[in-house]
Amino acid sequence: MKFPSSTSFALLGAALIAISFGLARFAFGLFVPPIRAELELSPDMIGIIGALPLISFILATLVAPLAADRLGARNTAVLSGGFGAVGLVSVSQASGVLSLGVGVVACGICTGLMMPALTAAMQGYSVWPT
């Protein structure tokens, strides 16, 4: 398997972190006012839903190193991106509390899986030719 250059690897890693942390994990908070109004959610329910990404992030970080070992860094990163895509689509199309909750949980899993996947990729990456 041919590794990308160190610059390409760094740019790809930065893009994956920006997507998983920026879009998938923290973007929900920016859209709480319109989501709350459209779905008619109480402040308590918004608080519970707002805590779900952190909970799913923590749980995902517990299993992420095992996933990176078993699936490999690339497949774990792809799995993470899949969770992010599913989560963002679920949040954008949410018609109620349950679909919104599922979306933010998936986004938290995305973030929890991404860092161990990139760490595993860096450990397997060598900037020195072999």
Q: Are 60 and 78 in contact (CB under 8 A)?
A: no
- CA–CA dist 82, 120 (Å, integer): 18
Question: So what's the pLDDT on residue 3?
Answer: 66
Question: So what's the pLDDT on residue 130?
Answer: 47
Q: Residue 129: is its pLDDT beyond 60?
A: no
Q: What is the pTM of this model?
A: 0.85
- CA–CA dist 116, 122 (Å, integer): 10
Question: So what's the pLDDT on residue 106?
Answer: 95
The region of weakest confidence among 8-12, 42-46, 57-61, 89-93 is: 8-12
pLDDT digits (tens, 9 = 90+) for 95-119: 999 999 999 999 999 999 998 888 8
Listing DSSP states for 35-82 in one string gives HHHHHT--HHHHHHHHHHHHHHHHHHHHHHHHHHHHH-HHHHHHHHHH
Cα of first residue to Cα of last residue in the chain, in angstroms, is 12
pLDDT digits (tens, 9 = 90+) for 33-77: 999 999 999 999 999 999 999 999 999 999 999 998 899 888 999
- CA–CA dist 125, 102 (Å, integer): 34
- DSSP-based helix, strand, coil % in the chain, nearest 5: 85, 0, 15
